Amino acid sequence: MSAISIGQAAVLGIVEGVTEFLPVSSTGHLKITEGLMGIPVDDAAVVGFTAVIQVGAIAAVLVYFSKDIARIVSAWGRGIVDPEQRRRHDYKFAWWVVYATLPVVAVGLAAKPLIDGPLASLWVVAGSLIAGSGLMWVADRLGRHKRGEDDTGPRDAMLVGSSQILALLLPGFSRSGATMSTGLILDLDRVAATRLSFFLGIPALTGAGLYELKDALGAGMSPLPVAVGTAVSFVVAYASIAWLLKFVARHTFSAFVVYRIAVGVLLLGLLGSGVLTA
């Protein structure tokens, strides 16, 4: 029998869609929400479910940035057969995304027992929310915000892509928070750092969702809640992406820092009082 009802799947889809690309940790919010709804966060089917509904959010990125993605993929295809095209930034960027994804894939496969086991604790989530806030605050203030998207290079892609490992090992740290903060430390402006975070997240999150599909459907999870959660996350994530790009063009990340700390402290209180179990 499914561990998650259709109603719960819809709620989790909303949480995933809102938080996947905001630097507040979708994993942390999903685990908190699951805990409050009495869903066993360490159940194999539940772990698989939360990974699969990320595909809905990733599909929103693919649709939202479809023109950019088509341009990059087209440049990569032309560059494969035409040496002259290999000088173009889009061709190089396509390869940078591939290279930058390899470290997080390697760590994800090697450390999966830890990620699904001890590191899945809500105590880790709470600590990571607060620690990640510190990194974001420092990055937003030390970064000089002087480089745009066209100024990015292979070093930027590798460092930003590799920073996804922090969120992989420390649920609550936030993949978006880690990648955006790294981009800011590299002096990218907030919009460039945010867009780079989106593009580098596509292969990693899509791969994770497809890899976990067998657990979601093979460990007792009904296909209907998975479909509902994925569809809801797509719709909500699309709106969240549009809002975030407008927000970072005019504001600092201070609001996210304050919010993360508040949620981390609240979670510590809920765990300490026994309202939630780790």
Q: What is the pTM of this model?
A: 0.87
265 found inside a domain: yes
Which string of DSSP letters, residue by residue, matches 100-169?
Answer: HHHHHHHHHHHTHHHHHTGGG-HHHHHHHHHHHHHHHHHHHHH----B-GGG--HHHHHHHHHTHHHHHH
List phi, psi (to 5°) of 275. Answer: -65, -40
Confidence of residue 216 (pLDDT cuts 50, 70, 90): low
Q: What is the mean predicted confidence (pLDDT) over 58-77?
A: 93
Residue 93 structural domain: 6-273
198 pLDDT above the threshold of 60? yes
β-bridge partners, 188: 147
pLDDT tens-digit map of 90-143: 999 999 999 999 999 999 889 888 887 788 788 999 999 999 999 999 999 999
Quote the Cα angle for 143-61-138, to 5°. 15
1 found inside a domain: no
82 found inside a domain: yes
278 found inside a domain: no
54 found inside a domain: yes
Confidence of residue 1 (pLDDT cuts 50, 70, 90): very low
If one counts the domains in the chain, the total is 1
- Return d(Cα 175, Cα 272) in angstroms, integer: 26
174 found inside a domain: yes
Q: What is the mean predicted confidence (pLDDT) over 251-262?
A: 95
Structure tokens at 167: 């969120």
DSSP state of 3: S
242 found inside a domain: yes
Q: Tell me what percent of the residues of the chain surpass a pLDDT of 90.
A: 60
37 found inside a domain: yes
